């Protein structure tokens, strides 16, 4: 589990960064590690940055609500509940049409525009449970870790490589800078592919309750499409 201090050390060692050079100050290296961390954390919608906030309160009759957490990334709230009720997210244009045409409808829908959440004001009041993507904060201390540190060390490696990329232009090494950034991008893409491969194991709960029957041939579709059914 790499800490902020260890990331800095890895940058210096792996990138052959001379800390005696006037343009490679400790403050500069620390700043570029933080910049690289923000870059890597926003590279994809990582499951490590998913967050559920329940600090907001929805009052019936009040349509516009601020993002309940200032750290939420814009347009990232994908699931929203008020109390025990889950609300369906619809396009903002469709939400406006819905409110114009059916202004007394109590359907549980919401949308957002910019950093404002629009919740159908005809619904009951309650705590807002917002599920979205949280932006990362800067490292608070030398022992702070990144969102990748617990289980995705290749993410920390990408932070190191992106930091080196950010620092190389200071020494006029533009091609090296591009090469290091490419290495960081490749690592993050490989990590993303692995995460996506794991997520394929999730099966939808709204799968049909009954199996499909071919009424013409009198066979279950799952058997009909199984080439080994008679083996």
Mean pLDDT of 78-89: 97
pLDDT band at 203 (very low <50, low <70, confident <90, very high): confident
User: Which pLDDT score is estimated for 206?
Assistant: 67
pLDDT of 220 reads: 44
Q: Which pLDDT belongs to residue 217?
A: 54
Would you place residue 228 in the very low, low, confident or very high pLDDT band (cuts 50, 70, 90)?
A: very low
pLDDT digits (tens, 9 = 90+) for 123-144: 999 999 999 999 999 999 999 9
Residue 216 pLDDT grade (very low, low, confident, very high; cuts 50, 70, 90): low
Determine the average pLDDT of the residues in 75-87. Answer: 96
Say yes or no to pLDDT of 2 above 70.
yes
Give the angle subtended at the CA of 22 by the CAs of 179 and 35, to the nearest 5°. 45
Is the pLDDT assigned to residue 227 strictly greater than 50? no
- Residues 145-173 have pLDDT tens digits of 999 999 999 999 999 999 999 999 999 99
Confidence grade of residue 201 (pLDDT, cut at 50, 70, 90)? confident
pLDDT value of position 230 = 43
Question: Does residue 187 or residue 203 have the better pLDDT?
Answer: 187
Give the model's pLDDT for residue 83: 97
Q: What is the mean pLDDT of the chain?
A: 90
């Amino acid at each position: 589990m790499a800490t902020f201090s260890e990331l800095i050390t890895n940058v210096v060692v792996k990138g052959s960064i001379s800390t005696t050079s006037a343009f490679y100050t400790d403050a500069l290296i620390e700043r570029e590690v933080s910049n690289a961390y923000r870059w890597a954390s926003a590279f994809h919608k990582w499951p490590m940055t998913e967050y559920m906030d329940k600090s907001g309160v929805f009052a019936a009759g009040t349509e516009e609500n601020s993002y309940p957490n200032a750290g939420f990334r814009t347009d990232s709230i994908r699931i929203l509940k008020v109390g025990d009720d889950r609300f369906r997210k619809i396009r903002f244009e469709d939400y406006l049409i819905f409110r114009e045409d059916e202004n007394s409808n109590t359907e549980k829908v919401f949308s957002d525009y910019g950093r404002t959440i629009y919740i159908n004001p005809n619904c009951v009041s309650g705590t807002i449970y917002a599920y979205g993507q949280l932006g990362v904060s800067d490292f608070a201390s030398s022992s702070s870790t990144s969102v990748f540190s617990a289980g995705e060390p290749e993410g920390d490696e990408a932070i190191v490589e992106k930091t080196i990329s950010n620092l190389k232009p200071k020494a006029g090494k533009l091609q090296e800078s591009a090469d290091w950034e490419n290495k960081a991008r490749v690592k993050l893409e490989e990590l993303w592919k692995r995460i996506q491969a794991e997520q394929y194991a999730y099966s939808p709960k709204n799968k049909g309750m009954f199996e499909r029957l071919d009424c013409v041939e009198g066979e279950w579709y799952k058997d009909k499409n199984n080439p080994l059914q008679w083996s």
